[in-house]
Structure 1
């Protein structure tokens, strides 16, 4: 099977401190992968490397069998990647223009832009807001718009940095359900950071565990609860999984 992203012997050093250390990490097409770890574990730094936004200090990165580090990422490869951040980055214009911007940069024909924008706004249930100003959207609407914009350019790989964490529980659950269906339909390779076990278990097949800058595990989500690591890592995982266990108990008690 084709390898979409391959990292070998990666380190990131800032202010004389090693903040990321990954010996080997391979991502195959169509995978949905959760990236977890406590605050300061190096998750965001690793995501930026994989998304071709930053370079490591040392190591080798291949994207679609093309070596992009050491080397220079060309515009063609960079445009195959989309990134969604925790706080939606909105242009001060209409919802339509926010989704259309990436397509315009790619010199997409106007008719195709219109069809694509309306398709993705409808997929995320916000097509009725097409002429609204993006700055006036609610948190849930803005995040739906942000993901719709990312998907509109048909990325080969999508990165998300805690995209649902700022949303209230009902909004988050609805968006998760819609997003899961869209990923099934598109088969888009996806890597996202989350502090929520429910999100990761719901969306992901595989999971990357970061701790103190090191990738300590990369495997199946369902296998993680049965693995044992150092005491510090075990404590983090126990605390990370507890809210979902409590939530499951509450839901069962209500049914």
Structure 2
């Protein structure tokens, strides 16, 4: 089976500085990939590159075996992906309006939008918030709306840039439990950038460690965490001092 996205001989430079240098990397259908690394390692830049929000300086990016020409990726390709960030960035208006926006922009019939919004409101346990203005949501409620908005368009890949990091611990745990169940049921391919080993360990089944813009280790999540190679041991040991619950 060919990967959904494949990177070959990728470099990305900015202001005469190397940001990324990745000889080869793939995202396979159905996996939940975690990306970790120190601050400034290039994690979020890699996420933007994989989701076609950033252009590489050299190399090739392939989508389902086809090389994507340099320049802006076609709109129909970028619409195959969704992204959820740490900040929910909800629009002014109701929860219903925010979750429906992706389908509205795609000109999906109103009846179908209504049915799908109701479905995702229920999956994320926020049906009672449908008519509530987003200004009055708690952090956990806002992030549930954010994730529902990203999932409703049924993306081929869901990209996540630390969506749980700003939540208090009980809220985070409950949302992660619900989200893991939803991802499992929908079999959505997902990529999570996180600094939290607990999130990575709980949610992902494959892990990539990036340091100084280079991919230092990839493999099954538990294997990487329990048997880090020489280049990732310093990073993982330092992180475990701050996140002992992930040991």
TM-score category of the 2 structures, normalised to the smaller one = over 0.9
Q: Does 1:105 align with 2:118?
A: no
What's 1:19 paired with?
Answer: 19
The answer as to whether partners of 2:240 and 2:246 remain within 8 angstroms in 1 is no
Q: Which runs of 5+ in 2 are unaligned?
A: none
CA distance in 2, matches of 1:247, 1:18: 34
**Where in structure 2 are the equivalents of 1:24-63 lying within 5 Å?**
24-63=24-63
SS at match of 1:183: helix
Task: Say how many residue pairs are matched.
Answer: 246
Q: Which runs of 5+ in 1 are unaligned?
A: 250-255
**Where in structure 2 are the equivalents of 1:178-193 lying within 5 Å?**
178-193=178-193
CA deviation string 1:202-245 (max 9, x = no partner): 11110011101111111111111212223xx322101223455x
What's 2:123 paired with?
Answer: 123
CA distance in 2, matches of 1:159, 1:69: 22
What's 1:253 paired with?
Answer: none
Q: Does 1:195 align with 2:192?
A: no
CA distance in 1, matches of 2:119, 2:100: 12
**Where in structure 2 are the equivalents of 1:83-98 lying within 5 Å?**
83-98=83-98
CA deviation string 1:162-208 (max 9, x = no partner): 01000000000001100100111011110010111111111111001
What's 1:227 paired with?
Answer: 228
What's 1:247 paired with?
Answer: 245
Q: Structure 1 residues 201-210 or 61-70, which shifts more?
A: 61-70
The answer as to whether partners of 1:59 and 1:70 remain within 8 angstroms in 2 is no
Shift of 1:64: 2.4
CA distance in 2, matches of 1:107, 1:159: 23
CA RMSD, Structure 1 to Structure 2 (Å): 1.4
TM-score by length of 2: 0.96
What's 1:163 paired with?
Answer: 163
TM-score by length of 1: 0.93
